[in-house]
């Protein structure tokens, strides 16, 4: 059985994603219902981190970067199903 991790709260997905220098893998459901996995992702650096986090919470999107593929993408927070191999619990 896979370990679980909370989406929010201390030690949750959003907290870990926002740590400086964090590198992580994420699996999410696409709008069409298929699953995509992104490995070795980071958050894009922002000038005003606190303001960016507030904006992220309002719009429900994470702006991520995958260095291995030089790709920037947005990920809908509600569609995340796994984070670093752990099943995500959407506790809201």
Contact predicate 39/28, CB 8 Å: no
For residues 20-36, give the mean pLDDT: 94
Domain count, the chain: 1
Spell out the SS3 assignment of 4-27.
Answer: EEECCCCCCHHHHHCCCCCCEEEE
Q: Could you tell me which residue, 45 or 33, shows the higher pLDDT?
A: 33
Domain of residue 23, residue span? 4-89
Residues constituting the chain: 92
Q: What is the pLDDT of residue 9?
A: 87
Q: CA 10 to CA 17: how far, in whole Å?
A: 12
CATH of residue 84: 2.30.30
Structure-token pair, residue 71: 């790709």
Q: CA 84 to CA 24: how far, in whole Å?
A: 6
Is residue 1 predicted with pLDDT exceeding 80? Answer: no
Contact predicate 28/35, CB 8 Å: yes
pLDDT digits (tens, 9 = 90+) for 39-90: 999 988 765 556 666 666 667 888 899 999 999 999 999 999 999 999 999 9
For residues 20-48, give the mean pLDDT: 89
For residues 24-33, give the mean pLDDT: 94
């Amino acid at each position: 059985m896979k370990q679980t991790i909370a989406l929010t709260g201390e030690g949750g997905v959003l907290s870990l994603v926002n740590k400086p220098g964090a590198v992580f893998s994420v699996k999410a459901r696409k709008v069409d219902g298929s699953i995509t996995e992104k490995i070795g992702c980071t958050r894009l650096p922002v000038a005003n981190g606190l303001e960016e986090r507030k904006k992220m919470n309002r719009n429900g999107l994470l702006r991520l970067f995958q260095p291995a593929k030089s790709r920037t993408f947005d990920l809908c927070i509600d569609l995340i199903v796994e984070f670093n191999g752990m099943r995500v619990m959407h506790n809201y």
